Chains A and B, each alone.
Chain A
Amino acid sequence: MEFIGILWDEMLMRPMINSLALLAHLLFNNFGLSIIVFTVFIRIVLIPLTVRQTRSMKKMQELQPRMKALQDKYKDKGPAEKRQLSSETMKLYKEAGVNPVGCLGPMIIQMPIWFGLYRAILRTMPPTPEGLANLSHAFYAWNPAILSVPINSKFLGVDLADFVQGAPLPWNYALPVLVGATMWLQQKMTTGNQQAMSPQQAQTNQIMLWMMPIMFGFFTFQFPAGLALYILFSNIVGIVIQYYVGGKQPIVLLGRAFLGSAEERAKALADKPSAPAAQALVDDDSTEEKDEDGQSTDVHRKNRRRGNRGGSGGSRRRSRRR
């Protein structure tokens, strides 16, 4: 256990504490800016993983019809056939070169960073004398930031070492909401075509889509504000990366989430007495061609312009149908 503790300290805690303190030292003793720059750096380092995960998820989405067919084939069969289903499913994954739980990859990778950052934030801005005494061990001798201790823990009026629930209004509520909302949007951007999935898979995705952001938003109250700031900016950077890698427009998705899709809006209006308005809306919306993902061709066109083949899977399928 002691070895794990040393490993944890030397591999994660000390580099994090020194990086955060050094950034704060260079950025006008501003720990908030330090966390933001640190977050961007971490997300940049994780870009290869994010890209691989995004592509893996796209492959998973493409496999869904075949998965569904397999499940239908073995539906209501005995245990031996179920094993066969399992074997064939794994074979399918192997052929496609995807990991069925790959969607959790970046989250799993980020977990130690979250744990480490939680400790690093509290250790870099210790609120107790014991913490301050401990901090002296953490600094590298060459780090000029050691002379800047205690580091200013205030950022936009929020004490980054204090719990979010202790932050002044509106930050004590805004931070959890922002964390939850950005996490939802990021998850939404990575969630595949629901209709191509089995009902269970779609249900799981729905649960994950809502459960994780709500839980994170809720538990953000208990996090130090600095960690909330990290998660928030990590999500924002993740959305930007996802936008460029995955090609799904966050604004479009946000619009769909709150206003519903064009079809849903049309149906809602059609149910009302003012049907001509619905007709107008449908005519208006239908000028924008949609593929089976519900993504606009504008998005695909944009992706094609960027030369991102991964983002134009829906277009290729549409071409095949034609």
Chain B
Amino acid sequence: MPNRSGYQDRIDTKIHASTLKTEYIPATRHAGTDAKTMPRSSHRSTRTVKLALTLFAVLIALTACVNDLNPGGGWSGIVESGDYLYFGSKDGRLVRVSSTTGTFDQSWSYPSAGADDLGEMYGTPAVSPDGVLYGSAFRCKGNSCTGEIYAADAISGQSAWASGTFKIETRLVGSVGLGESTLAVGTAAVNGNDEPPGYLLGLDLTPDAGMGISEQVSNREKWRLPLNGPVWGGIRVSNNIAYFGTLQHMLYAVDLSDKPEYANNPESRIIWQFHTGGAIAGTPHVTETNVYIGTFGNNVYSLDIAYRTQNPNTNTLNPSTEWSFDTGAWVWAEPVLDNGVLYVANMPGSVFALDANTGQMRWAKSATAGKEIVAQPLIFESNRGPALAVASGEKDITVIVIATGQIAGEFVTGGNGIKSSPVSYGDIIFAHTDTGQLRQYKPNTLALHNCIDVKGGGKTCK
């Protein structure tokens, strides 16, 4: 065991070493040592530090470059009102083009030029019979998001609500649903709270235009229905009942009417709910009798509305009127029904023609354009008869003849992806690309008729 003096010696040695160290550094500096005359080890030390700093700078640069937390401007679909087609631009504004000439109306936008934009617009606007456009948008900083629900007069471009937009702290991704007196809006979690993970909002549709201040609606929110998950898909309304799904696999049918019994118990609005085998990010296709919905469980379901209403808590399919079909991959795009055949496109680009009553497959075809099918296919009249236009989120639109399932060609999009449904007005097919172009095609020749760069202020594009 060392004695105290030996121990003290060691302390002295340490103090001496540290003194040497502290003396050495200023001495080197004061000697005016430049880089050329610095000892080699010092060069190495500097190199090591520089290397570490460089690596770290690369790390930070890369993390700053990636933008996965931020939405890419949305993919609003197109809706017609009067002589115009309206859609949300990548700049966060509702804009319009003439449905007859295809020209961009630079004098009209909502919000107007100079006012703050609305943010990311994914949903297709809904238009009421009195010419008011309803829709939603949101903007995020990290995971903190603010959503806005708007009501814009299609002619004047002014807000139909005196209070302006309705704001709520959440993501508003899907299209809104227009009921008789209620605007249905699906949300994600609100105010950063985990529970509930989503809501269906019921907003008062009554316009304020022409009303005195005392008659204007002071509180747009009529009710708020908690859901089991966020709503990213659109809402379809039929007979004043909203049909929509959540990312947590649930398909809901919710009554939008203003019955007094709903006042104290919003959950009593749920007519039925059905737990599917996967997340629902798309919009259901609704007829008078059935609801068709694709899920991330790879299936598409046909649900009988009457049977569901009578058996609201049953989660098994009624084999005589309901069916499911496994497409082998996620289904995001809304199915489309034509003459008793349901056309379904899954994410990797396989298109299925199914008997709407039985779910039996008539044909299947792989889209020749890119993958990432998110948009509902469009049925249009081609020079080879009725055809299906299947837009790809990667590039191009595949055209498939619906009678035979044969590929008829492609609308070439110039490498741009399309995630909103193409629409057909007159003899032109309009497609809004992910890059903010409105591309117009001739259905007979599949040739590009016109292209407007909406993001670029309406310039012509190729």
Identify the A interface with B (CB < 8 A): 67, 71, 74-75, 79, 82, 85-86, 89, 100-101, 103-104, 107-108, 111, 114-115, 118-119, 122-123, 126-134, 136-137, 146-147, 149-150, 154, 157, 159, 161-163, 165-166, 195, 198-204, 207-208, 211-212, 215, 219, 222-223, 263, 266-267, 279, 282-283, 286-287, 289
Q: A122-B68, A263-B10 are in contact. Are A133 and B374 (CB under 8 A)?
A: yes
Question: Please, which residues of chain A bring their CB within 8 A of the CB of B45?
Answer: 200-201, 203-204
A137 with B372: CB separation less than 8 A: yes
What is the distance, in angstroms, from B300's C-beta to the closest C-beta of chain A?
Answer: 15
What is the distance, in angstroms, from A72's C-beta to the closest C-beta of chain B?
Answer: 10
B156 contacts A by Cβ under 8 Å: no
Question: Please, which residues of chain B bring their CB within 8 A of the CB of A67?
Answer: 41
B52 contacts A by Cβ under 8 Å: yes
Interface-central residue, A114, A159, A198, by most chain B CB under 10 Å: A198
Q: A118-B66, A133-B372 are in contact. Are A159 and B247 (CB under 8 A)?
A: no
B51 with A201: CB separation less than 8 A: no
B48 with A204: CB separation less than 8 A: yes
What is the distance, in angstroms, from A111's C-beta to the closest C-beta of chain B?
Answer: 6
A195 with B17: CB separation less than 8 A: yes
B63 with A204: CB separation less than 8 A: no
What is the distance, in angstroms, from B31's C-beta to the closest C-beta of chain A?
Answer: 9
Question: Please, which residues of chain B bring their CB within 8 A of the CB of A119?
Answer: 66, 68
Interface-central residue, A146, A200, A283, by most chain B CB under 10 Å: A200
Partner of A263, one of B14, B66, B348: B14
B425 contacts A by Cβ under 8 Å: no
Question: Please, which residues of chain A bring their CB within 8 A of the CB of B39?
Answer: 71, 74-75, 85, 198, 200
Once the chains are docked, how many angstroms separate the CA of A183 from the CA of B58?
19
Once the chains are docked, how many angstroms separate the CA of A283 from the CA of B3?
8
Partner of B7, one of A118, A215, A282: A282
What is the distance, in angstroms, from A143's C-beta to the closest C-beta of chain B?
Answer: 12
A128 with B51: CB separation less than 8 A: no
B residues 117-133 touching A (CB-CB < 8 Å): 122
B36 contacts A by Cβ under 8 Å: yes
Q: Which residue of B lies closest to A78 (CB)?
A: B37
A136 with B11: CB separation less than 8 A: no
Q: Which residue of A lies closest to B233 (CB)?
A: A129
B109 contacts A by Cβ under 8 Å: no
Once the chains are docked, how many angstroms separate the CA of A12 from the CA of B200?
39
Question: Please, which residues of chain A bring their CB within 8 A of the CB of B7?
Answer: 263, 266, 282, 286
Question: Please, which residues of chain A bring their CB within 8 A of the CB of B71?
Answer: 128-130
A149 with B296: CB separation less than 8 A: yes
Once the chains are docked, how many angstroms separate the CA of A283 from the CA of B39?
42
What is the distance, in angstroms, from A73's C-beta to the closest C-beta of chain B?
Answer: 11
Once the chains are docked, how many angstroms separate the CA of A111 from the CA of B62?
11
B419 contacts A by Cβ under 8 Å: yes
B213 contacts A by Cβ under 8 Å: no
A212 with B52: CB separation less than 8 A: yes
B residues 277-335 touching A (CB-CB < 8 Å): 277-279, 281, 296-298, 329-330, 332
A127 with B41: CB separation less than 8 A: no
B212 contacts A by Cβ under 8 Å: no
B297 with A147: CB separation less than 8 A: yes
A163 with B55: CB separation less than 8 A: no
Question: Please, which residues of chain B bring their CB within 8 A of the CB of A134?
Answer: 372
Question: Please, which residues of chain B bring their CB within 8 A of the CB of A108?
Answer: 55
B422 contacts A by Cβ under 8 Å: no
Q: Can you list, as one digit per residue, whether each of B11-46 has a CB less than 8 Å from chain A (1) or not (0)?
A: 100100100110011000000000011011110111
Give the number of A-B contacts (CB < 8 Å).
Answer: 160
What is the distance, in angstroms, from A36's C-beta to the closest C-beta of chain B?
Answer: 21
Question: Please, which residues of chain B bring their CB within 8 A of the CB of A204?
Answer: 45-46, 48-49
A114 with B247: CB separation less than 8 A: no
Q: 7 tightest CB-CB pairs across the interface, nearest first?
A: A204-B45, A122-B68, A162-B143, A200-B42, A136-B347, A128-B71, A199-B24
B68 with A131: CB separation less than 8 A: yes
B116 contacts A by Cβ under 8 Å: no
Q: Which residue of B lies closest to A131 (CB)?
A: B68
B194 contacts A by Cβ under 8 Å: yes
What is the distance, in angstroms, from A158's C-beta to the closest C-beta of chain B?
Answer: 11
Question: Please, which residues of chain B bring their CB within 8 A of the CB of A131?
Answer: 68
Once the chains are docked, how many angstroms separate the CA of A111 from the CA of B63?
12
* A–B complex contacts, Cβ < 8 Å, 28 sampled: A67-B41, A71-B39, A71-B40, A85-B39, A103-B48, A108-B55, A122-B68, A122-B69, A127-B69, A127-B143, A129-B71, A129-B173, A133-B347, A136-B347, A136-B371, A136-B372, A147-B297, A154-B194, A162-B143, A163-B69, A165-B142, A166-B143, A199-B24, A204-B49, A208-B48, A222-B60, A286-B2, A286-B7
Q: Which residue of B lies closest to A125 (CB)?
A: B68
B11 with A115: CB separation less than 8 A: no
Once the chains are docked, how many angstroms separate the CA of A170 from the CA of B192?
16
B1 contacts A by Cβ under 8 Å: yes
Once the chains are docked, how many angstroms separate the CA of A202 from the CA of B24?
12
B393 contacts A by Cβ under 8 Å: yes
Once the chains are docked, how many angstroms separate the CA of A219 from the CA of B66?
15
Question: Please, which residues of chain A bring their CB within 8 A of the CB of B36?
Answer: 79
Question: Please, which residues of chain B bring their CB within 8 A of the CB of A157?
Answer: 194
Q: A133-B374, A149-B296, A163-B142 are in contact. Are A223 and B49 (CB under 8 A)?
A: no
Q: Which residue of B lies closest to A167 (CB)?
A: B143
Partner of A161, one of B143, B144, B194, B278: B143
B59 with A111: CB separation less than 8 A: yes
Once the chains are docked, how many angstroms separate the CA of A208 from the CA of B48?
9
Q: Which residue of A lies closest to B330 (CB)?
A: A136
What is the distance, in angstroms, from A189's C-beta to the closest C-beta of chain B?
Answer: 18
Q: Can you list, as one digit per residue, whether each of B247-287 has a CB less than 8 Å from chain A (1) or not (0)?
A: 10000000000000000000000000000011101000000
What is the distance, in angstroms, from A9's C-beta to the closest C-beta of chain B?
Answer: 13
B residues 50-95 touching A (CB-CB < 8 Å): 51-52, 55-56, 58-60, 62-63, 66, 68-72, 75
Question: Please, which residues of chain A bring their CB within 8 A of the CB of B44?
Answer: 100, 201
B161 contacts A by Cβ under 8 Å: no
A263 with B11: CB separation less than 8 A: yes
Once the chains are docked, how many angstroms separate the CA of A30 from the CA of B332?
24
Once the chains are docked, how many angstroms separate the CA of A11 from the CA of B371?
21
A129 with B11: CB separation less than 8 A: no
B11 with A267: CB separation less than 8 A: yes
A115 with B69: CB separation less than 8 A: no
**Apart from A147-B296, A166-B143, 12 more pairs, CB < 8 Å:** A82-B40, A118-B62, A134-B372, A136-B330, A149-B296, A159-B143, A195-B17, A200-B39, A201-B44, A202-B21, A212-B56, A266-B11
Question: Please, which residues of chain B bring their CB within 8 A of the CB of A136?
Answer: 329-330, 347-348, 371-372
B277 with A147: CB separation less than 8 A: yes
Once the chains are docked, how many angstroms separate the CA of A137 from the CA of B59?
25
Once the chains are docked, how many angstroms separate the CA of A158 from the CA of B416?
37
Once the chains are docked, how many angstroms separate the CA of A104 from the CA of B62?
19
